[in-house]
Chain A
Amino acid sequence: MCRPMVFDPRLDALSARAYLLATMDAAASPLLPESFLRWFESRGWQPRAHQIELLEMARQRDSVLLVAPTGAGKTLAGFLPSLVALAARGKRKPGSAGRRGVHTLYISPLKALAVDIARNLEAPVAGIGLDIRIETRTGDTPSHKRQRQKHVPPDILLTTPEQIALLLSDAQGRQMLSGVDTIILDELHALVTSKRGDLLSLGLAALRRLSPGLRSIGLSATVAEPDDLRAYLVGQTPDETPDETPDEIPGTERALAGLVTVAGGAEPDITILDTAERLPWSGHSARHAVGEIYRIIKDHRTSLVFVNTRSQAEALFQALWHANDENLPIALHHGSLDVGQRRKVEAAMAAGTLRAIVCTSSLDLGIDWGDVDLVVNVGAPKGASRLAQRIGRANHRMDEPSRAILVPANRFEVLECQAALAASRAGHQDTPPLRTGGLDVLAQHVLGCACAGPFDPLELYREIRSAEPYRGLAWEQFEQVVDFVATGGYALRTYERYSRLKREEDGRFRLSHPKIAQQYRLNVGTIVEAPMLKVRLVRSKADGRRTPVGRGGRWLGEIEEWFVEQLSLGDTFLFAGEILRFEGLRENEAYVSRGRAEAPKIPSYQGGKFPLSTYLAASVRAMVADPRSWTALPDQVREWLEIQQLRSALPAPDGLLVETFPRANKHYLVCYPFDGRLAHQTLGMLLTRRLERLGARPMGFVANDYALAVWCLADLGEMIGCGRLSLAELFDEDMLGDDLDAWLAESSLMKRTFRNCAVIAGLIERRHPGQEKSGRQVTISSDLIYDVLHRHEPDHILLQATWQDAATGLLDISRLGELLRRIRERITHTPLARVSPLAVPVMLEIGKEPVYGEAQEALLADAADDLVREAMG
C-alpha cells in the first residue's frame, strides 16, 4: 500500500499541482486530498514542493528535518501531514466516550509562538472543514484545562519543552502522550543549543519509548551543521560500552532523519550605514546615528530595529523618541517589559499601525509580522547566522529580497559588520555546534522519570543514550547522577536513610515519598533567571506630599535585582521607554515614579549577551591584517587602521599582537585576540595572577570583544625587553591548569554557573514569587554550598556539570584554550611610547562607572578626547 515514489527535487512550486494530479492518477491515496487542494486554490496558493515532499516522507513514516528560510511556509509544511492524516481518520461520533490520544505534538521554544501557531492553524482547519481539536498548553494554561486535557486530549497539542517534561513526570501525563503519531519541533536550531534542548532531547527519547511509531519533524533556519539536527530528531543506538570521555564518541554511524532543504529565496539586500557623523571609538549606543536611523524609519513602511541588550533598547528608544518630530508610532519590545504591554505592541505590529519597533532578541524568533519591509541592526551582529535570521524577519515572502541596514556603533563594529556582510553574501553559517548534554539537566530528568513511576536503571540508561546529546554518556556517570538524585551523591554517605529513591527487590528505583514529586514540579525547567523584581509605578515622594508611597500603581515589568541594588533613592534610569525615579524597595517590588530628570542614569551596559562567533572573529582578524581589504571600509576606519600600522603594527591573523606603553604612572599591556569578551575576561583574570607572581604588580584589567588591556605598576616593556618577563611563558597554555583551578575556587562567575546547575539539578529550590518574605537568613546561599563542595568534594557530579558549563559559558574556557594554542610561538611584542590607535577603544572601557548627570559626561568625553589626540595626533 505504501508505493515507493521518487521525488524530484527540481520540482518547483508551480508544477506541484500538476505533480499532485499525476500522483493522484497513479495512486489510490493522493498525498493531498481534494479538500486541501481546493483550500489552497481558494487562497490563490499552490502547495510548495517541500510541503509535498514532507507529505511523502510522512507516508513512508520517516522523520525529517526541514531547513528553510522564513517565508517558505515552513510551519504549514510541518503540519500538513498531520492535518491530512487527521482528515482521513473520520469524524468523531458525537458524545462518544471513546478516548483518542494526542495525534500530533508541536513544541516551540516560545509560549507566544505556540499560541500564535494555534491561531494560524485555525484558518486551514476551518477552510478545509476539518474536525480537529487544537489546544495549547503552556505555563499560562489554567489548571482545570490542563486536567481536562489529560482526560480528553486534543488532536493537536501545542506546547513547550517544560510542559513535556511536566507531562512525562506523571503517570496520567504519560498516558496522555502514549500513542503520539507525530512530533513537530519548531525553531529547532534555537532549541538545541541550550539546556532546554537537552531537556527536550530526553523528553523525546521517553516519548519514543511511549509511542514506538513516533515520527519527528524538525523545522529550522539554515544552520552550519544540519546533520547534528538530523541526529537530534531520531533515536540513536550507540555501542553498549561508550568511551570514558563523552567527547570521543565511539565511531558508530549516527542515525539521521531525512533532510529537505529549501534554497534561500532572493538574496537579502544588506547595506552598512555610511554615517556622515564621527564614528565613536567605543560604546554600543549608536547615539551618533540616531538622526540617520530616524530618517531611515521615515523612509520605510515598517522597520524592526534590533539591538543586542535591553539597556541598549531602552537607550535607543529614548533617543529616537527625542528625534521623533513627526510623532511616528514607534514602540519598544524586550523581555523585561510587562507581558500585557508586549502583547499590545505585538498586536499593533500585526495590525500594521506601527512604523518601527525597537527590540532585542525577544523578537528574533517566530511570530510572523507580515508587513516589515526593513530590518535595522544596531550594534554588532555577533554572528553571521544570527544576523541572517534577524534579517529574515523582514519581508516574509520568499521571492522578494529582505532589506536590512547595519548600524555599527563603534569602529570595531564596522569591521564586524563588514565580516558579517561578506559571510551573508557567501552564504556562510556560524550557528554554534550541538551541546553535550548537561548532567544537571539529566539529574532533573531522572527525578522526573521516578516521579512518573518506578524505573529500571538499565532501561532508562539505554533510553537516555538514544538521545543525541547523551549518546556518549558513560554508565558510571549515569550511576553518579542517579546517586545524586537519591542522596546528593556525596562520598560521605550519611544521607542513605533520607534517600529520595528507594531500590525495590526487582532492581527498580521508586520515589520514596510522593511529596518529592510536588517539589519536582515546582522546579522543572532549565531556565534560571537572575532574581527579578517587579517594577511598579507610584506617585513620587519628591513632590513634597507626606503621604506614604501609594500602592496600586501599574506594573511596568521586571528588572534584575542586581541592577536595583545599584540604585539609591532618587536615582533615575530608563525603563519601559520612560525616565523613572527610584522610590524604594518593598518586598519584591521596586517602586518608581515618573522622573523629571533630563539625563537618566542609564543601566550600565552589560556587554553583548552573545559572544562574538569564532567565524566572525577570524574574519575580523583577517580583515585587520590585510590592508588591501580596507578599501571597503569607511574613511574614518581606514585612517584609524593606517595610523595603527604606522605607529605600532597590525595584528597578524593567527598571531597575537602585544603592545606595552606607559601612561599616567602606570604601564599597560594591550593584546588583540578578537575572541570575545568572555574569553578575554578569563584571560585577564589569569594573566593578572601570573603577573602578580612575577612581581609586575598588576592593578587591573579590562576586556571587550576584541582586546584585553592589563595595567601594572612595574614597567612591563622593560621587563620584557630585558628578558625578565617572557611573553611566551606568560601566555602559555599551562595557565589553564593550576592558575585556573585556583581562580575558579573564588570566581563569582563560577559561583553563578554553579547556582544555575544546582537549581536545574534540583539541589536548591527555585525562588518563587511570595517566598521572599520567609527571611533571608534561613535561605541557603549557593555560594556557601559551592565553597563547601569545592573544598570537600571537588569531583562531585554538580561540580562536573558546572565545569562543563563554564567551558563554554560565562568563562568560555574552551575558546581561551583554542586562543592560546593558536598564538603559541606567534606572539609579537611592540613596545610603544604611548597608546596606539587600536588600543583606544579598550582603554576607554577603563573605569566605566555609573555616570550621574552631565558634568561627568563632559569629563568623560574630555578624557576620551585626550586619549584620541595622544594616539592620532
Chain B
Amino acid sequence: MRPFTARIETRRYAPVCHDISIAGELVGLHDSGALWWPDQNTLVVADLHFEKGSSFARKGVMLPPYDTAATLEKLAEAIDAFQPTRVVALGDSFHDGEGSDRLPAAYRAMLTTLQLGREWIWVTGNHDPVAPVGLCGETVDEVALGRLVFRHEPLAGADPGEIAGHLHPAARIRRYGRSVRRPCFATDGHRLVMPAFGVLTGGLNVLDQAWKPFFTPRAFSVFLLGDGRLYPFTASRLVGD
C-alpha cells in the first residue's frame, strides 16, 4: 500500500510535536491540530470542512467566503513543515456532498499542488459520503496502516489503534474564576479523536454525553491546542460547558 519514495528533504525547522503512543505506535500531536506519524511519513488531518461558508450561503446564511482559503493555507503550512509522503484526510473534508463540486478553480489548483508527489487518502465522512469530484487521491471508508485504523466516526468497542475525527473535541479548563475553551486531541491510549482542522468549525466538549460510548468517563486525557505547544490535562481536571 505504501509506495516507495526516495525523496528526502531537509525541513526548514523541526515542528514541535507532543509524542504519544496509540496502541504501541508513536505519533506526534501538532498544535495545528494535525497528527504526524513519523514511521509512516504520514500527516493526518480531520474535519477540514472545505466550502462550509458556501454551504451555508446556499441556505441563505452568508458566512464569509474565506474559510476554504484559510484552511488550505493552514494545511499548506503543515505539509510544508512535515513534508509527508502520505496525507490522510479523515472525513468531512468537504462540508457537504457537493462541496468539492463548488470548490473555486483557484483553490482546486492549490489543493492539487499540495497533492503533487504524495499519496493522498480521502476517508469519507458523514458530510461527504462520496469521493470528491475532480480531485486526485484515493477515497476509502476506512484505512488500516500499521497497527492503526483511520476512520471518520469512532466506533463504540473498536479495537485499539483507532484514529478518528467527527466529534470535534474541545475542552474547558477553569482557573481563578476564568475559563478557557479550546479544541483538543482526546485519547485513552487505545483510541485518538482528533480536533477539527477546518477554520470555521466549532467544538463539542469532551464531557458531553455524546462521548460516553468512546471514553470511560474521567479515564482519558486531552491535549488542548495552544500557540506553539499543547496543554495536556486528564479528564478529571476539565469542566463542562
Q: Measuring CB to CB, which residues of chain A are less than 8 angstroms from any residue of chain B?
A: 484, 487-490, 492, 494-495, 498, 500, 513, 515-516, 519, 565-566, 568, 585, 604, 763-765, 775-781, 784-785, 787-789, 791-793, 796, 849-850
Residues on B with beta carbons closer than 8 Å to the beta carbon of A788:
64, 66-67, 70, 199-200
Residues on A with beta carbons closer than 8 Å to the beta carbon of B196:
777
Residues on A with beta carbons closer than 8 Å to the beta carbon of B205:
776
Inter-subunit contact A779/B202 (CB<8 Å):
yes
Residues on A with beta carbons closer than 8 Å to the beta carbon of B62:
484, 487-490, 495, 498, 500, 763
Give the residue of B65, B70, B201 whose beta carbon is less than 8 angstroms from that of A490.
B65
Residues on B with beta carbons closer than 8 Å to the beta carbon of A500:
60, 62
Bitwise, B23-59 to A at CB < 8 A (1) or not (0) is: 0000000000000000000000000000000101110
Inter-subunit contact A498/B203 (CB<8 Å):
no
Bitwise, B182-205 to A at CB < 8 A (1) or not (0) is: 000000000000001001111111
B212 proximal to A (CB < 8 A): no
Given A775-B204, A777-B196, A777-B202, also A785-B177 (CB < 8 A): no
Give the residue of A566, A777, A785 whose beta carbon is less than 8 angstroms from that of B204.
A777
Inter-subunit contact B66/A516 (CB<8 Å):
no
Residues on B with beta carbons closer than 8 Å to the beta carbon of A513:
60
B232 proximal to A (CB < 8 A): no
B179 proximal to A (CB < 8 A): yes
Q: Which single residue of chain A is at the shortest CB-CB distance from B172?
A: A565
Closest-CB distance, B97 to chain A (whole angstroms) = 16
* Alpha-carbon gap, A793 to B54, bound state (A): 17
Inter-subunit contact B64/A776 (CB<8 Å):
no
* Alpha-carbon gap, A344 to B39, bound state (A): 70
15 contacts between A and B (CB under 8 A): A487-B62, A488-B63, A489-B62, A494-B65, A498-B60, A516-B60, A777-B167, A777-B202, A777-B203, A780-B63, A789-B66, A792-B64, A796-B64, A849-B176, A849-B177
* Alpha-carbon gap, A500 to B62, bound state (A): 9
Residues on A with beta carbons closer than 8 Å to the beta carbon of B64:
488, 490, 785, 788-789, 792-793, 796
Given A492-B66, A494-B54, A495-B65, also A776-B60 (CB < 8 A): no
Residues on B with beta carbons closer than 8 Å to the beta carbon of A849:
176-177
Inter-subunit contact B200/A784 (CB<8 Å):
yes
Closest-CB distance, A775 to chain B (whole angstroms) = 7
Closest-CB distance, A616 to chain B (whole angstroms) = 30
Residues on A with beta carbons closer than 8 Å to the beta carbon of B63:
488, 763, 780, 785
Residues on A with beta carbons closer than 8 Å to the beta carbon of B199:
784, 787-788
* Alpha-carbon gap, A495 to B177, bound state (A): 43
Most chain B beta-carbon contacts within 10 A, residue among A515, A778, A787: A778
Residues on B with beta carbons closer than 8 Å to the beta carbon of A498:
54, 57-58, 60, 62
Inter-subunit contact A776/B241 (CB<8 Å):
yes
Closest 3 CB pairs of A and B: A488-B62, A777-B168, A777-B204
B15 proximal to A (CB < 8 A): no
* Alpha-carbon gap, A849 to B178, bound state (A): 9
B237 proximal to A (CB < 8 A): no
Closest-CB distance, A700 to chain B (whole angstroms) = 11
Q: Which single residue of chain B is at the shortest CB-CB distance from A764?
A: B61
Inter-subunit contact A776/B202 (CB<8 Å):
yes
* Alpha-carbon gap, A777 to B167, bound state (A): 7
B104 proximal to A (CB < 8 A): yes
Closest-CB distance, B183 to chain A (whole angstroms) = 10
* Alpha-carbon gap, A565 to B170, bound state (A): 15
Closest-CB distance, A590 to chain B (whole angstroms) = 12
Give the residue of A487, A566, A764 whose beta carbon is less than 8 angstroms from that of B174.
A566
* Alpha-carbon gap, A177 to B184, bound state (A): 54
Residues on B with beta carbons closer than 8 Å to the beta carbon of A568:
239
Q: Which single residue of chain B is at the shortest CB-CB distance from A500?
A: B60
* Alpha-carbon gap, A789 to B67, bound state (A): 10
Inter-subunit contact A792/B66 (CB<8 Å):
yes
Q: Which single residue of chain B is at the shortest CB-CB distance from A515?
A: B60
Give the residue of A763, A787, A791 whose beta carbon is less than 8 angstroms from that of B61.
A763
Q: Measuring CB to CB, which residues of chain B are less than 8 angstroms from any residue of chain A?
A: 54, 56-58, 60-67, 69-70, 104, 167-168, 170, 172, 174, 176-177, 179, 196, 199-205, 208, 210, 239-241
Q: Which single residue of chain B is at the shortest CB-CB distance from A561?
A: B241
Most chain A beta-carbon contacts within 10 A, residue among B104, B177, B204, B240: B177
Residues on A with beta carbons closer than 8 Å to the beta carbon of B167:
777
Closest-CB distance, A495 to chain B (whole angstroms) = 5
* Alpha-carbon gap, A557 to B194, bound state (A): 38
Q: Which single residue of chain A is at the shortest CB-CB distance from B205?
A: A776
Q: Which single residue of chain B is at the shortest CB-CB distance from A492?
A: B65
Closest-CB distance, B16 to chain A (whole angstroms) = 22
A-B contacts besides A513-B60, A604-B177, A777-B196, 4 pairs, CB < 8 Å: A495-B65, A777-B170, A792-B64, A849-B177
* Alpha-carbon gap, A484 to B57, bound state (A): 12
Residues on B with beta carbons closer than 8 Å to the beta carbon of A793:
64, 66
Given A488-B57, A779-B202, also A565-B66 (CB < 8 A): no
Q: Which single residue of chain A is at the shortest CB-CB distance from B166?
A: A777
Q: Which single residue of chain A is at the shortest CB-CB distance from B104?
A: A494
* Alpha-carbon gap, A826 to B163, bound state (A): 63
Residues on A with beta carbons closer than 8 Å to the beta carbon of B61:
763-765
* Alpha-carbon gap, A480 to B109, bound state (A): 31
* Alpha-carbon gap, A775 to B208, bound state (A): 10
* Alpha-carbon gap, A519 to B56, bound state (A): 13
* Alpha-carbon gap, A516 to B58, bound state (A): 12
* Alpha-carbon gap, A500 to B56, bound state (A): 12
Closest-CB distance, B167 to chain A (whole angstroms) = 7
* Alpha-carbon gap, A764 to B56, bound state (A): 10
Q: Which single residue of chain A is at the shortest CB-CB distance from B127?
A: A778
Closest-CB distance, A778 to chain B (whole angstroms) = 7
Residues on A with beta carbons closer than 8 Å to the beta carbon of B176:
849
* Alpha-carbon gap, A488 to B170, bound state (A): 29
Residues on A with beta carbons closer than 8 Å to the beta carbon of B177:
566, 604, 849-850
Residues on A with beta carbons closer than 8 Å to the beta carbon of B66:
490, 492, 788-789, 791-793
Given A565-B179, A849-B177, A850-B177, also A781-B57 (CB < 8 A): no
Closest-CB distance, B223 to chain A (whole angstroms) = 18
Residues on B with beta carbons closer than 8 Å to the beta carbon of A488:
57, 62-65
Q: Which single residue of chain A is at the shortest CB-CB distance from B52?
A: A780
Most chain A beta-carbon contacts within 10 A, residue among B62, B64, B201: B64
Residues on B with beta carbons closer than 8 Å to the beta carbon of A779:
202
Inter-subunit contact A780/B202 (CB<8 Å):
yes
* Alpha-carbon gap, A864 to B82, bound state (A): 55
Most chain A beta-carbon contacts within 10 A, residue among B65, B177, B240: B65
Residues on B with beta carbons closer than 8 Å to the beta carbon of A781:
202
Residues on A with beta carbons closer than 8 Å to the beta carbon of B54:
494-495, 498
Residues on A with beta carbons closer than 8 Å to the beta carbon of B202:
776-781, 784
Residues on A with beta carbons closer than 8 Å to the beta carbon of B239:
565, 568
Residues on B with beta carbons closer than 8 Å to the beta carbon of A565:
172, 174, 179, 239, 241
Inter-subunit contact A780/B56 (CB<8 Å):
yes
Residues on A with beta carbons closer than 8 Å to the beta carbon of B204:
775-777
Closest-CB distance, B163 to chain A (whole angstroms) = 18
Closest-CB distance, A560 to chain B (whole angstroms) = 14
Closest-CB distance, B48 to chain A (whole angstroms) = 14
* Alpha-carbon gap, A677 to B223, bound state (A): 36
Residues on B with beta carbons closer than 8 Å to the beta carbon of A784:
199-202
Inter-subunit contact A519/B60 (CB<8 Å):
yes
* Alpha-carbon gap, A488 to B177, bound state (A): 38
Closest-CB distance, B128 to chain A (whole angstroms) = 14
* Alpha-carbon gap, A533 to B64, bound state (A): 30
Residues on A with beta carbons closer than 8 Å to the beta carbon of B58:
498
Residues on A with beta carbons closer than 8 Å to the beta carbon of B241:
565, 776
Most chain A beta-carbon contacts within 10 A, residue among B54, B57, B167, B201: B57
Most chain B beta-carbon contacts within 10 A, residue among A484, A498, A793: A498
* Alpha-carbon gap, A277 to B72, bound state (A): 66
Most chain A beta-carbon contacts within 10 A, residue among B60, B174, B177: B60
Residues on B with beta carbons closer than 8 Å to the beta carbon of A764:
61
Closest-CB distance, B54 to chain A (whole angstroms) = 7
Inter-subunit contact B201/A777 (CB<8 Å):
yes
